[in-house]
Amino acid sequence: MSQSFDVVVIGAGPAGYVAAIRAAQNGLKTACVDNWKNLDGKHAFGGTCLNAGCIPSKALLESSEMFHKSQHEFAAHGIQIGSVKMDVPAMQARKAKIVSSLTGGIAALFKSNNVTGIRGTARLLKNSTVEVTDFDDAKKKDILEAKHVILAAGSEPVELKVVSFDGKDIVDSWGALEFSSVPKRLGVIGAGVIGLELGSVWQRLGAQVTVLEALPDFLAMADQQIAQAAAREFKKQSLDIRLGAKVTGADNGKNGITVHYEDKGGKHDIVVDKLIVAVGRRPATAKLLEDGTDVKLDQRGFIQVDEECHTGVKNIWAIGDCVRGPMLAHKGSEEGIMVADLIAGKVAEMNYEVIPSIIYTWPEIAWVGKTEEELKKQGIKYKTGIFPFAANGRAKAMEAATGLVKMLAHADSDEILGVHIFGPMASEMIAEAVTAMEFRASAEDLQRTIHAHPTLSEAMHEAALSVDRRAIHAINR
């Protein structure tokens, strides 16, 4: 049996489900096909972000931060609570409830927006129709005809050739969200976003965490002043991050997993109880296209697209983690909105220069725009403003006066070129910088914008003032 739609979206992660809802809101008859299988074998919409990434990891981060605060901060507030115990199964149950309410919410949004949600594995055929293999019965296949197809198949964890996942002790990021007890010794391969976020969750819950990172620099993609401030803080928190450490293998034995690595000093071993491999993700495009479609993949498996996410094949689009650009949920969602609007004949575009990046450690790291290193490399003249949270009243009251806001503005035009934050609630604070940069604001625009007192956002105001050596509550250097 074949069905016809204006738009068929393949994948219901944050790129695909958002594209589907927007397309339907634009009056297009839309279907969204998805094959996510949870550990219980059941289907859920939402992709990696909702089921096994952003949302469950943030649920655990919140729990672990509470636990940590109860042990290390409550006393400073005069709160005496005696000894505190962590109930990991209860924490996991809370996380599961949050995830299921949100994934169920997508099914409800599909219904209310008239999107046909289809459970199954979709493949683009060379005649531009979509073949769907049923989620429960692999023999049952269906063909969907579509005026437009949006490929939003997402990404999957990369496995290291020298360290295979065993799904129990050596796990990917999903497995690391499912531990039923706190490992005594935890190894993490990769000090990228996932390694740092999950490493800090389990470290706060009591694990002794060692992170092995192949590159010699810490957070090479971030502004290095911010990266250094974060590295110093994580060291204070006893997160053992070893740089220039290339993992060469791992053996799972009776007394734990022995991880072998090499650095400038030679060969070393560490022994851990659980090992998280977080060395990046790759586009999930291996089985997405029938041989003979004209949609092109690059060498690493990304679907080739132009600025508007068009593949070059008539009416076939691709968005999210399976195309170039940062693998970020919000980047995929915005691409979904752009493509759904373009299909509906509207004017739409994406500003790839202003995509915020966030690392949900404590304190958080967030940035948008160019780093100081990038400006230097590109020969752009700039001014720098810095404001430490140590001089922010609200941060002090929160017992969280760690880190800084750094603003980079053009030396002549004063346009804000980059904002980098290491500090409390940086993930929320960065939104102001994103809005300012989207409107091409100058540092002076933010200097003359009233920021409520006492708030963390005053640190953004002061960083803008500091660009012109006018900070009120810090020494201008």
Residue from 147, 106, 97 nearest 13 by CA: 106
Structure tokens at 82: 């005696």
Q: What are phi and psi of 245, to 5 degrees?
A: -105, 105
DSSP H or E segment with residue 259? strand 256-263
Q: How near is the Cβ of 326 to ligand NAD at its closest, in Å?
A: 6
Q: How near is the Cβ of 329 to ligand NAD at its closest, in Å?
A: 7
Are 179 and 38 in contact by the 8 Å Cβ rule? The answer is no
Give the chain's count of helices (H) and strands (E). Answer: 13, 21
Interface residue list for ligand NAD (CB under 6 A) = 53, 160, 189-195, 197, 212-215, 246-247, 278-281, 326-328, 358-360
DSSP H or E segment with residue 386? strand 382-388
How wide is the angle at C-alpha 26 spanned by C-alphas 21 and 30, nearest 5°? 50
Tell me, yes or no, if 453 is annotated catalytic. Answer: yes
Residue from 125, 145, 156 nearest 295 by CA: 125
Q: How near is the Cβ of 339 to ligand NAD at its closest, in Å?
A: 21
Q: Could you give the strand order of the β-sheet that contains 416-423, starting from the edge strand earlier in sequence? A: 357-359, 364-369, 416-423, 404-410, 382-388
| Catalytically annotated residue among 260, 268, 420, 453 | 453
Angle of helix 16-25 relative to helix 88-112, nearest 10 degrees, comes to 30
Q: How near is the Cβ of 382 to ligand NAD at its closest, in Å?
A: 25
Residue nearer to ligand NAD on the CB measure, 320 or 418:
320
Residue nearer to ligand NAD on the CB measure, 53 or 403:
53
Residue nearer to ligand NAD on the CB measure, 172 or 458:
172
Q: How near is the Cβ of 342 to ligand NAD at its closest, in Å?
A: 25
Structure tokens at 371: 């780093």
Residue nearer to ligand NAD on the CB measure, 44 or 189:
189
- What residue number has its CB nearest to ligand NAD? 192
β-sheet bridge partners, residue 415: 442
Residue nearer to ligand NAD on the CB measure, 194 or 201:
194
Q: How near is the Cβ of 36 to ligand NAD at its closest, in Å?
A: 16
Instruction: Kindly report the number of other CB atoms within 10 A of residue 19's CB atom.
Output: 33
Q: Could you give the strand order of the β-sheet that contains 266-272, starting from the edge strand earlier in sequence? A: 246-253, 256-263, 266-272
Residue positions annotated with a catalytic role: 453
